[in-house]
Chain A
Amino acid sequence: MADNQFDIIIIGGGPGGYVAAIRAAQLGYKTAVVEREHLGGICSNWGCIPTKALLRSAEIFQYFNHAKNYGLSVEKPAFDLKAIVQRSRGIAGQMNTGVQFLFKKNKITTIWGDAKFTKPNEIAVTAPTKGVLGPAVEAPKGALGEGTYKAQHIIVATGARPRVLPGLEPDKKQVWTYFEAMNPESFPKSLLVIGSGAIGVEFASFYRTLGADVTIVEVLPQVLPVEDAEIAAFARKQFEKQGIKILTGAKVTKLDKKPDAVTATIDVGGKTETITAEKVISAVGVVGNIENIGLEAVGVKTDKGIVVTDGYGRTNVKGIYAIGDVAGPPMLAHKAEHEGVTCVEAIKGLKVHALDKNKVPGCTYCHPQIASVGLTEAKAKELGREVKIGRFPFIGNGKAIALGEPDGLCKTIFDAKTGELLGAHLSGAEVTELIQGFVVAMNCETTEEELMHTIFPHPTLSETMKESVLDAYGRVLNM
C-alpha cells in the first residue's frame, strides 16, 4: 500500500477520532488520523479534563474554607490563579502526550494539517491553520504533512465549537468562551455566565467558589435545561445558597462594553434588567464543525449543522462516516468514543448496535455534581409511560453525613408495568462516579428486582441508589 493510501482515515484526533483510530488499528486496518492542533481534541486539551483540574482546585479551596467543620484549622486560605491554571494546562499536556504514545503503540499515522474532501475516498491536507484555539502547536514527531491521502473509509470526527449568538460574540477579552475562561490572565471580581448547561454551571461553580460574584442567565425556564426538573430545582437551590444569582426565562439582548466592565441588558419575562460584570462567559452551546472540510463537494448530507448518519456512523455517501459532536447531540466525549468504536466495528462487519441515545449518561461537575441517564420524569410521562418514582436524599446516608456532604438527591424512574429502569437522576457529592451503576443496570436491562437483590457496599454514597430504587416501590429503609 502506498504511503498516502490507508484503509481508514479519521479526520480529527479528539476523543471520538483517536479512540476510533485505536480500534481500527486493533482490527488490523492501516489507519491515519488528521489533526490540526491537538491530539486528544477539545476534551483532553480544552474541555473535560482541564476543567476538571480547575474544579478540583476550587473544591480543595472550598475544603480549606470549611476546614473548621472537620476540626481542622487553615489560616487564611488563598489561591494562586496562575498556578491553578498552570496545573490545569500541565494536565492537558499530559493527556496530549498520552494520545501520542497510544498512536505510536498502535502504529497509527498522524497527518498534521487541515483536511478537505476532494473525492469520497480522498482528502487533501494543507498546512494547519495556526492557533485556532490556543497558541500554535508543533506537529508531533513523525507526522505526515501536506498532500493527498486516500482511504476506502474516511471518518469525519471534527467535533464542535462554541455557538456564537448575534450580539454576544466573544471577543476573547471581555466576552469569553470556555477557552478564555479556562485560561484567565486575571481573576474577575464579577462574572456573568450566559447559558446554564454543563459548561456554564461548571465555570459558574469554579469562579464562585474562588470568590467571584457570579450571575447565571438562562433563556429557558429551568437551569440545567436537559436535566430532570426536580434535580435542576435542587441544584438551583444549592447554587443560590452558595451565592450564585440565577435568572431563568431571561434573555440577554445587548452587551455594552466599557473598558473595565460589560453591562448586559436582560429581558426577564418582559421586564428589562441590567447586570454589570467584569467578564462575560458565553456558554450557549456548541455547534458541529461541518464547514471547510469539503462535505458539500462530495455530497454528504447535513442538517442544522450536523452530519446526518444512520446510527452506525454511515453518511449518505458510501465510504464516508461521521461520529461524535459533528454527528449530533448529545455532544459528549464518551458518546463520541462509543460511536467511533461502533463505526469502525461496523466497517469491519462485526455485530454492533446503533447508539441508544437514551443510555448515554451525562455528568456535570459543578457543586453539587449532577449525573443522569435515561428519561427525565417529564419526558417519561410525555411518552405516556406509567412510572414509579423513587427518591432518596443524601441526608439519610451515613457516608454522606460523614463526608460532610448531606446535600444530595438520588431519583430513579421505573416503568410501572415492566420494572424497566427508565431514568436515574442524581445530584450531590461524587454522583458522577455513581451514575455508572445505573448505566450498567440499564444496559443489562435489569428491572427493579435485580437492583433490589444487589448488595450495595456500606458505607458508601451508592447506598442512596439502592434506597432510591426501594423507595420507588414503597420499600425505602433508611428514611
Chain B
Amino acid sequence: MPINILMPALSPTMEQGNLVKWLKKEGDKVKSGDVIAEIETDKATMEVEAVDEGTLGKILVAEGTSDVAVNQPIAVLLEEGEDASAASTAPAEAAPKKAAAPEAKKEEPAAPKEEAKAEVSKAEAPKPAPAAAAKANGSGGKVFASPLARRIAKERGLDLSAIAGSGPHGRIVKKDVESAQPGSSARQAPASGGGFPLMPDDQIRALFEPGSYDVLPHDGMRKTIASRMQQSKVVVPHYYLAVDFELDALVKMREEMNNYAPKDDGKPVWRLSINDFMIKAFALTLKKHPEANASWTEGGMLRHHNVDIGVAVAIPGGGLITPILRNAQDKPLPQISQEIGELARRAREKRLKPHEYQGGTTAISNLGMYGVKHFTAVVNPPHSTILAVAASEKRAIVKNDQIVVATMMTATISCDHRVLDGANSAELMQTLKGYIEKPIGLVM
C-alpha cells in the first residue's frame, strides 16, 4: 500500500510551513533517515527525514509552496513492487492512517493462521494517529469553538488556538473571541501578519502614491516577530532600568583568558567576547535573584530552577531568532562561548531545531558592535526580563573627584512588572554590576 508522507509538525506550535525544496525526485529510492525535503517554518528551515523505506512515487506538493498545513500529504512513498499508478490512487483522506498502517502490516505475518484476528487488527488500523496530528493548544487536537466565535475570529484575524475557551468543556465562545482584543493575552494569527491592524491595509496603502512602493509578503519569521512583539507590548507592563558598567577589569581579564585558550592547529579553540561575559554574569545574577528568573502565568508565578538565556541573533537579510543557552549559570565561560558560537552560526543558517530556540527564562540582546550607546529591548514572554547591552567605549568619568578615562558600557534591563518590581530589578542590576566590575566572580 502506498504511504503518504505528511507535512510534519516540526514544533508543537507549528500549524503550517513552506515547502522550500525537494532533495529527492520522483522515482528516487529512499531509505529511512534520508533527508527528502526542506521545510521552512516561522522560526527555521528544517530537514524532513524519511521514516519508511521505498521509492518516492509522487510529489504532491511542489517545492516553493507556502503555507502547507501540518499533516497534509506532501508526497507518496511506494513500497517494493508498487508502481507509480498506485501512487496516484493513494487517497488524501488516508493521511492520518499513515502512522497506524505499518503496525497493521506487522501484525499480519505475526498471526498468519488467525485470520479473524488479523482482520480485526486491519479494521482497527485506520484510526488516526493522535500524536502526529496533535497541536499545541493544550487539548492536543481540534480547537473547539462555536461557529460564531470561529467567524468573528476569522474576521479579526485571531488565532483560535491561542484563545482560552470559557464555554462548556472549554469551548471558545463569542465572549472569548471578543475579549481577545487589545489588552488580552491571545495572540493574533501569524497568518494575518501579526500585529493588530491599526487601520485596514487598503487605507494604509491609500496614503501613498500607487507605484511608489513595493509590497513584500511577510515570511513566517516576520509574522512571528510581529505577533510576539505586539503581544508583549500590549500585555506585558514594561519598565526599564539603565546602568553604566566600568569594563576595564573585565576587558583585562578577557585578554588574559583569551591568551590562555588552548590551540588547535595553531588557532585558539575559543575566543571569549564581552558578550560571553555578559551572559555568564547575567546568569549568575539571576541565580542570585530567583524572583527575576520567573514567568508570569495567571495560575501562579513559574520560578525557574535554571537560567536559560536566549541570545538574540540577527539573521542576514532580516529577521531575528534567539537560540537558548541552557543552564548558563553552571557553564564555564569557554563553554558558553563555544556553544553560543555554534548556536548563532546555525541560527543564521536557519538550521536551529525547535528545542534550541523555544523556551528560555530570559534573553540578552547586544547591539554594541553597531556602536549603539543605549537602547531598550522588548521582553519576549514568557520571559520576564531582557538585557539590552550597548557598546563599550572609552568615556571620561569622575572617580575620586578626578576625571579619568574608563571603558564604559550601558546595559538596560526591561522587566515585566507583573513579575518584578522596580526595587527587585535595581538590586539585580547592582549584583550584575558587581560581577561585571569585579569579574573574578565569574570564574570562581
Contacts and interface: CB of A to CB of B under 8 A. Distances in A.
B152 interface: yes
Tell me which of A417, A418, A445, A446 has the highest count of chain B C-beta atoms within 10 A of its own C-beta.
A445
A420 B175 CA distance: 12
Interface stretch (B2-10, B14-22, B86-94, B142-150): B142-150
Nearest to B166: A353
Interface string B131-150: 00000000000000011110
Given A445-B173, A445-B174, A418 B146 contact: no
B151 interface: yes
Nearest to A415: B148
Contacts of A445: 146-149, 173-174
Binding site secondary structure of chain A: loop
Interface in A430-479: 444-447, 449-450
A341 B387 CA distance: 52
B155 interface: yes
Contacts of B147: 444-447, 449-450
A420 B155 contact: no
A446 B155 contact: no
Contacts of B149: 445
Contacts of B151: 418-419, 447
A419 B155 CA distance: 12
A473 to B, nearest CB: 14
A149 to B, nearest CB: 36
Contacts of A420: 148, 174
B136 to A, nearest CB: 24
Contacts, number: 26
A418 B151 CA distance: 6
Contacts of A418: 148, 151-152, 155
Interface residues of B, number: 10
A447 B155 contact: no
Contacts of A446: 146-148
Chain A: interface size category? 10 to 19
A417 B156 CA distance: 11
B400 to A, nearest CB: 65
B361 to A, nearest CB: 32
B152 A444 contact: no
A415 B443 CA distance: 67
Nearest to A446: B147
B150 to A, nearest CB: 9
Nearest to A417: B155
Contacts of B146: 444-446
B175 to A, nearest CB: 9
B343 to A, nearest CB: 44
Contacts of A450: 147
A92 B428 CA distance: 75
A201 B151 CA distance: 40
A450 B151 CA distance: 12
A58 B166 CA distance: 46
Interface in B165-189: 166, 173-174
Contacts of A417: 155
Interface in A385-414: none
A454 to B, nearest CB: 11
A225 to B, nearest CB: 28
Interface string B210-240: 0000000000000000000000000000000
A353 B174 CA distance: 13
Contacts of A419: 148, 151
A288 B201 CA distance: 54
A417 B148 CA distance: 11
Contacts of B155: 417-418
Nearest to A442: B148
A420 B173 CA distance: 12
B170 to A, nearest CB: 10
Nearest to A353: B166
Nearest to B148: A445
B217 to A, nearest CB: 27
A106 to B, nearest CB: 25
Tell me which of B149, B152, B155, B166 has the highest count of chain A C-beta atoms within 10 A of its own C-beta.
B152
Contacts of B148: 418-420, 445-447
Tell me which of A419, A444, A449 has the highest count of chain B C-beta atoms within 10 A of its own C-beta.
A444
B443 to A, nearest CB: 54
A444 B148 CA distance: 8
Tell me which of B148, B149, B166 has the highest count of chain A C-beta atoms within 10 A of its own C-beta.
B148
A136 to B, nearest CB: 46
A461 to B, nearest CB: 25
Contacts of B174: 420, 445
Interface in B252-307: none
A353 B151 CA distance: 22
A447 B174 CA distance: 11
Tell me which of A417, A447, A450 has the highest count of chain B C-beta atoms within 10 A of its own C-beta.
A447
Interface in B342-384: none
A43 B243 CA distance: 73
Contacts of A444: 146-147
A420 to B, nearest CB: 5
A213 B93 CA distance: 70
A418 B148 CA distance: 7
Nearest to B150: A447
Interface in A331-355: 353
A416 B152 CA distance: 12
A391 to B, nearest CB: 22
B147 to A, nearest CB: 5
A449 B146 CA distance: 12
Contacts of A447: 147-148, 151
A450 B155 CA distance: 17
Contacts of B152: 418
Nearest to A444: B146
A447 to B, nearest CB: 5
A248 to B, nearest CB: 36
Tell me which of B147, B149, B166, B173 has the highest count of chain A C-beta atoms within 10 A of its own C-beta.
B147
Nearest to A449: B147
A353 B146 CA distance: 16
A419 B148 CA distance: 7
A201 to B, nearest CB: 33
Interface string A284-299: 0000000000000000
A144 B135 CA distance: 58
A447 B145 CA distance: 12
B171 to A, nearest CB: 9
Nearest to B149: A445
A455 B149 CA distance: 22
A450 B148 CA distance: 10
A230 to B, nearest CB: 25
Contacts of A353: 166
A446 B152 CA distance: 12
B90 to A, nearest CB: 30
A449 B150 CA distance: 12
A449 B151 CA distance: 10
A49 to B, nearest CB: 30
B97 to A, nearest CB: 28
A313 to B, nearest CB: 19
Nearest to A356: B175
A1 B142 CA distance: 48
A444 B166 CA distance: 13
A466 to B, nearest CB: 16
Nearest to A453: B147
A353 B176 CA distance: 13
Given A353-B166, A419-B148, A420-B148, 5 more contacts: A420-B174, A445-B174, A447-B147, A447-B148, A450-B147
24 contacts: A417-B155, A418-B148, A418-B151, A418-B152, A418-B155, A419-B148, A419-B151, A420-B148, A420-B174, A444-B146, A444-B147, A445-B146, A445-B148, A445-B149, A445-B173, A445-B174, A446-B146, A446-B147, A446-B148, A447-B147, A447-B148, A447-B151, A449-B147, A450-B147
The 10 nearest A-B residue pairs measured at CB: A445-B146, A445-B148, A447-B147, A446-B147, A450-B147, A420-B148, A445-B174, A447-B148, A418-B152, A418-B151
